[in-house]
Amino acid sequence: MLKIKNLSVSVNSKVLLDNITLSVKQGERHLLSGHNGSGKSTLVQTIAGNPEYKIESGEIIFDGTDITNESTTRRALLGIFLGAQNVPEIPGLSVMGFLKHSMIAHRHFETGQDLSMAEFLESLEFARKKLNIPQEWLNRSINVGFSGGERKRLMLLRLIMTKPKLAILDEPDSGADADTQQQIANTIQEMTGTTFIFISHQQKFTDLVSPTSVTTLEQGKIKK
């Protein structure tokens, strides 16, 4: 699903990743471990295409396609989902509006066809009930006034609805209570058609997810 070859990355001329080579197989639950500052978030942001991170050398192959120089938008449409640690508040854009535009874009990219409102609402209602998300949340602005745990549940809502090929979750357990952590772990376990890369510093949460493989980073390199 994902092959990273000899990847070196910098921010403001400072090298943060040094010659990373890594493979993630289809269907894995792949844990990235390591101390703070080891390069985990840099790696996942680079995979997702954050332009603040400059690729100095190497390549990223996703599902057989070289995406090293692809835009963030293109990577998302190809099936890469990023659940970041710090998500922005977007006043004026409702949760429902955001989800609708996202699903319309994915459907058109994948099939060239439009998504009907009936199909969107059916998918939304299924995911909302599964996650026990109140109806009134859908009309609120993205992340405005939501707690850390509530934001994680909105992330899960988007994850379930878009069904990405690869989901990258950067400390999804951070700021989430025990019930929400269990809900996140359950969702990861249930979405067998999606490959997961996740970062966590909490052993209890890691045990809930039960990773199938682990890569440890240390000072921007893979620890042997």
Domain that holds residue 139: 2-222
In the predicted structure, residue 86 carries a pLDDT above the cut 90: no
Q: Which is it for strands 213-218 and 221-222: parallel, antiparallel or unpaired? A: antiparallel
Q: What does the pLDDT read at residue 79?
A: 94
pLDDT tens-place string over residues 141-176: 988 888 888 888 999 999 999 999 999 999 998 888
Q: Do 161 and 188 form a contact (C-beta atoms < 8 A)? A: no
β-sheet bridge partners, residue 66: 61
Average pLDDT over residues 129-148: 91
pLDDT tens-place string over residues 35-84: 888 999 999 999 999 999 999 999 999 999 999 999 999 999 999 999 98
Average pLDDT over residues 80-94: 87
Confidence (pTM): 0.90
Q: What does the pLDDT read at residue 205?
A: 93
Q: What does the pLDDT read at residue 55?
A: 95
Return d(Cα 155, Cα 85) in angstroms, integer: 11
pLDDT tens-place string over residues 27-37: 999 999 998 88
- Collapsed DSSP state (helix, strand, coil) of residue 177: coil
Quickly list DSSP for 51-72: TTSEEEEEEEEETTEE-TT--H
Q: Residue 5: CB partners within 8 Å, gap ≥ 6?
A: 21, 58, 59, 60, 61
- Structural domain count of the chain: 1
Kindly report the CATH number assigned to the domain that includes residue 108: 3.40.50.300
In the predicted structure, residue 117 carries a pLDDT above the cut 80: yes
Backbone torsion region of residue 162, taken as left when φ is above 0, otherwise alpha when ψ lies between -120 and 50, otherwise beta: alpha
Average pLDDT over residues 1-27: 94
